[in-house]
Amino acid sequence: MLLEIKDIHVHYGKIAALKGITATVDQGEIVTLIGANGAGKTTTLKTISGLRPLSSGSIVFEGNDISKMPGHKRVVAGIGQSPEGRGCFPGMTVEENLLMGAYTRKGDVSKELNEAYELFPRLAERKTQAAGTMSGGEQQMLAIGRALMSKPKVLLLDEPSMGLAPMLVQQIFTIIQEINRRGTTVLLVEQNAQQALQIAHRAYVLETGRVVKSAQASELLDDPEVRAAYLGGELGGDGADGVSGTRAESASDTASDTASDGPSGDTPGDAPDGPSVRKSDG
C-alpha cells in the first residue's frame, strides 16, 4: 500500500474537522474523495501533506509512519500537492513557477519541465507570462504542472476543476487520467463527483469528518444514495452534462485536445468559481 490514513482526527481549535478517517491509496490508483462542502476533504489532503497536525491517528507512506514528518520532507518523500485555489506565485513567470515546483530536486529537471509543457501546451505558449496574469483555468493548469515537477509518487489534487469552463473541466479530467497512466498515483478531491467517479478506481464518501462509504468508483456511480446526494439524481438520468464518454476517451489525445484553441480554452477566466460550473452536475 502506497499511502495509508489510519483513523485520523484533526481539529481547528476546538472544532473537530476530521473524526476518524481511514483510507488507503494503492500504487497506480486514482482514488477520489467526494463529499459536501465542509465534509473534510481539503483538511484530509492538508493533513497528508503535513500542513495540518494530527490530533490522533497516523499516516503511513510506503510503510513508514510520516505522521510527524514536516511538510517539506513529505514533498521530498514523494507526496505532491496542488492546493485548493491556485497558489501560484503571481509575480513570477510560468516557467519560474514550474521550476519552483522542482525545488526539492537536485540536478537537471528539463525532462519534467518538458513533460509539464507536453501535458499543458497552454503553459508552453505562455512560458514568460507572469503567472498572476494567466486566466483562472491556466493558473489551475500551472498549479498541477508545478506539483508534478517534484516527481511525486502520489499527487494530491484539491478541486482541480474548480472554476473552469465546462470544456476545460473535461480536459482537466482527461489530463489527470494521463498523469495517472504515466505512473503517478492520484488522490483526487472533487465537487464534480460524476467526473471524478468516472476516472477514479476507488472512492470514499465523506460526511462531516467521517467516511460514510467506500467502494469501487463504478459502484458508487450506480449507488442510489450517492446519486441522490452527489450526482444530481436518478439512475440513468442525464445529470452528467454530457461527460459519459470520458472514460472511453483515449488519454493520448490529451496534448492535442489541450493545444486546440477552442472557445472555452480562451475564456476560462471569464467564469472563475462561477456557480454554473460548480453545480453543473447537481
Ligand X SMILES: Nc1ncnc2c1ncn2[C@@H]1O[C@H](COP(=O)(O)OP(=O)(O)OP(=O)(O)O)[C@@H](O)[C@H]1O
What is the binding site for Mg ion (CB under 5 A)? 41-42, 84
Q: What is the DSSP letter of 93?
A: B
Whose Cβ is closer to ligand X: residue 3's or residue 34's?
A: 34
- Applying CB under 6 A, the site for ligand X has a residue count of 12
**Taking CB under 6 A as the rule, does residue 177 contact ligand X?**
no
The full length of the chain comes to: 282
**Taking CB under 6 A as the rule, does residue 200 contact ligand X?**
no
**Taking CB under 6 A as the rule, does residue 276 contact ligand X?**
no
Selection from ligand X, Mg ion, none that 40 binds (CB < 5 to 8 A by kind) is ligand X
**Taking CB under 6 A as the rule, does residue 42 contact ligand X?**
yes
Whose Cβ is closer to ligand X: residue 12's or residue 103's?
A: 12
Torsion of Cα atoms, 224 then 228 then 232 then 233, to 10°: 60
Shortest reach from residue 13's CB to ligand X, in Å: 6
Shortest reach from residue 118's CB to Mg ion, in Å: 29
Whose Cβ is closer to ligand X: residue 43's or residue 198's?
A: 43
Residues 6+ apart with CB under 8 A from 111: none
Would you give the end-to-end CA distance of the chain in angstroms? Answer: 34
**Taking CB under 6 A as the rule, does residue 43 contact ligand X?**
yes
Positive or negative torsion for Cα 279, 83, 205, 216: positive
Shortest reach from residue 27's CB to Mg ion, in Å: 25
**Taking CB under 6 A as the rule, does residue 135 contact ligand X?**
no
Question: Are 80 and 109 in contact, with CB atoms under 8 Å apart?
Answer: no
**Taking CB under 6 A as the rule, does residue 279 contact ligand X?**
no
Q: How many CA atoms lie within 13 A of 252 on its CB side?
A: 0
Shortest reach from residue 28's CB to ligand X, in Å: 25
CA angle 89, 94, 99 (to 5 degrees): 80
Whose Cβ is closer to ligand X: residue 191's or residue 192's?
A: 191
Which among 32-40, 92-100, 175-183, 271-279 is the span making contact with ligand X, rule CB under 6 A? 32-40
Q: Can you list the alpha helix ranges (DSSP code H) found in the chain?
A: 41-49, 71-77, 94-101, 110-119, 121-125, 136-148, 166-181, 193-199, 217-221, 224-230, 254-259, 263-266, 275-278
**Taking CB under 6 A as the rule, does residue 15 contact ligand X?**
yes
Residue 71 has phi, psi (to 5 degrees) of -55, -45
- In the list 39, 54, 143, 205, the residue contacting ligand X (rule: CB under 6 A) is 39
**Taking CB under 6 A as the rule, does residue 53 contact ligand X?**
no
Question: What does the binding site for ligand X look like in residue numbers (CB under 6 A)?
Answer: 12, 15, 17, 35, 37-43, 191
